[in-house]
Amino acid sequence: MHGVVFALSTPKPDAATDVSQLQQWVQANKACRHTLLSVLSTNLFDVYCSYKESKEICDSLILKYTVENVVKQRFIIAKLLSLDHERRKRHQDANQ
């Protein structure tokens, strides 16, 4: 793969892997990890600086913000359903 993308898509190769391929992965991981950590807020940096693989950081961030987004969407949908229910009830009461 070109560049450093493979550090985000594959875990660290084991010791049986070709030495040059392992070195490429280590360098790519270092570059990706540095880039990811450099753009995080201080609070997030403190959490993720202990992670050694860029793939772990990326996967964790994706999971964290995907879950947060799902929770927000559920809250919004529940609120809309509640408002719709109230609107229908008022409309029904007005027609009686």
pLDDT in tens, 22-70: 898 999 999 999 999 999 999 999 999 999 999 999 999 988 888 777 7
Q: Coil, strand, or helix at residue 66?
A: helix
Compute the distance between CA of residue 28 and CA of residue 4 in angstroms, rounded to an integer. Answer: 5
* Total structural domains within the chain: 1
The predicted model scores a pTM of 0.65
| CA dihedral of 21, 23, 26, 31, whole degrees rounded to 10 | -100
Structure tokens belonging to residue 88: 């229908």
CA–CA distance, 32 with 91 (Å, rounded to integer): 57
Q: Is the pLDDT of residue 1 over 80?
A: no
**Between 92 and 3, the higher pLDDT residue:** 92
**Using CA atoms, how far apart are residues 50 and 53, in angstroms rounded to an integer?**
9
DSSP character at residue 42: H
How many angstroms separate the CA atoms of 6 and 3, rounded? Answer: 8
Residues spanned by the domain of 82: 5-95
